[in-house]
Homo-oligomer: A and B are copies of this chain.
């Protein structure tokens, strides 16, 4: 029987530590980092590392150092992704070490493209077993990823690639604002965030702001998905740093560069992890460590407000 809101009578608002403890178990299939380089729930990933999650499957298009960190910490058994690395710097050193030398552990990659990972999540959201596409025909990716099936279209016998549905156990989304029931507003690039929210069994929302129910209801077109799929709401301002949150703060490019430089060796990665993850209890301490001046330098200074919209009758 499906989960119901009544499991959440006690309320969905909780700390990051509670949300990860309750809704991300060892071995879980976790969709995270879904809006490409923006809105990446780095604070959630750091808490998974602090809680020493094991054997996770990570699902997402291009995870921009979040997957690399979890892989380096030994939390991950498998990735279902289009790209794993450091977007502005290049390779992900931890992903390389795990894939090439099984350090700190072996890793299975089920390779996708951005399109096929999106189609896989959309298929789950539609209750469809798979979606056929003409993309990746002639690519070796389907030969490396046995879940992708080359078939002929029953309509005209032409070649098609069948992309099977992927249903995450939990999708973790970073949003600009939501209420305590999990009604959220998400804007800017959305990548595959909505598809993942609709595909997942459980949803954890990490939010910059908690707002009144009425704020969300004033603009229902901005809502990524239904509140009743949301199990936990975590109020974590700055929780996406070093990724950008449209209208709140910009990407901290230097942080990605520093990570790239620091993690070239396993020892260097461990030092970085001790400093930025294991050595800080939570995101508040992380931001304090980052420093007020640096944090303020990332805040939005060029404000651009959306034109008025009337939902009246």
Binding site for B on A (CB under 8 A): 119, 126-135, 149, 151, 153-156, 158, 160, 162, 164, 176, 185, 187-188, 190, 211, 215-216, 218-219, 221-222, 244, 246-248, 250, 300-313
Contacts and interface: CB of A to CB of B under 8 A. Distances in A.
A304 B300 contact: no
* Chain copies in complex: 2
Contacts of A301: 312-313
Contact of A128 (B131, B151, B248, B300): B131
B309 A302 contact: no
B164 A155 contact: yes
A119 to B, nearest CB: 7
A154 B158 contact: no
A155 to B, nearest CB: 6
Q: By DSSP majority rule, is chain A's interface helix, strand, loop, or mixed? A: loop
A2 B312 CA distance: 40
Contacts of A190: 221
A303 B312 contact: yes
B149 A129 contact: no
Given A129-B156, A129-B160, A306-B311, 17 more contacts: A119-B126, A126-B131, A127-B135, A129-B132, A129-B134, A131-B131, A187-B311, A190-B221, A211-B307, A218-B304, A218-B307, A221-B221, A222-B306, A246-B312, A250-B313, A302-B313, A304-B311
A133 B45 CA distance: 35
Contact of A308 (B129, B155, B216, B306): B306
B219 A307 contact: yes
A132 B160 CA distance: 13
Q: Give the residue among A132, A164, A218, A248 with the most B Cβ atoms within 10 A.
A: A132
Contacts of A151: 154
Contacts of A155: 129-130, 149, 162, 164
B311 A305 contact: yes
A127 to B, nearest CB: 6
Contact of A313 (B162, B187, B300): B300
B310 A247 contact: yes
24 contacts: A119-B126, A127-B135, A128-B131, A129-B153, A130-B153, A149-B154, A176-B309, A185-B307, A185-B309, A187-B309, A187-B311, A188-B221, A188-B311, A216-B307, A218-B307, A219-B306, A219-B307, A301-B312, A302-B312, A304-B313, A305-B308, A305-B309, A306-B310, A306-B311
Nearest to A115: B126
Contact of A132 (B128, B176, B185, B300): B128
A154 to B, nearest CB: 5
A253 B177 CA distance: 37
